[in-house]
Amino acid sequence: MIMFVVATIAVIVAIVIALARAILGPSLYDRVLAGNAVGTKTILLLGLMGFLTGRPEFLDIALLYALMNFIATIAILKFFAYRTMSPQMRDMSPRLGNGNHDGGADG
């Protein structure tokens, strides 16, 4: 039991940190990355929670999460790369964005 507790605490701490990165930004891609990281950690958290409650059959939902996380990330990035959800708009290449996107040494 104690190992599940330790791992759960670790995963929750990791979620907190990733959430901080999602809030701090600074660039959009950082947010997508943080969102993706939170998704991965939620999958782990779900598995751990199943073991904590003694009902690990609920792993199905972790599987679904893995799928959804992937699909959401790909959809978001399609949105950035092509600025559209439909392939017909592919020719509209987005303008080069070039702000000051370095986040400083320690974010």
Residue 82 C-beta: closest distance to another protein, Å: 9
- Decide: 101 and 27 in contact? Cβ < 8 Å: yes
Residue 9 C-beta: closest distance to another protein, Å: 8
- Decide: 4 and 44 in contact? Cβ < 8 Å: no
* Residues, the chain: 107
Residue 48 C-beta: closest distance to another protein, Å: 7
Separation between Cα atoms, residue 34 and residue 39, nearest integer Å: 9
Q: Select from 11, 7, 64, 63 the least CA-distant residue to 38.
A: 11
Residue 54 C-beta: closest distance to another protein, Å: 10
Separation between Cα atoms, residue 6 and residue 15, nearest integer Å: 14
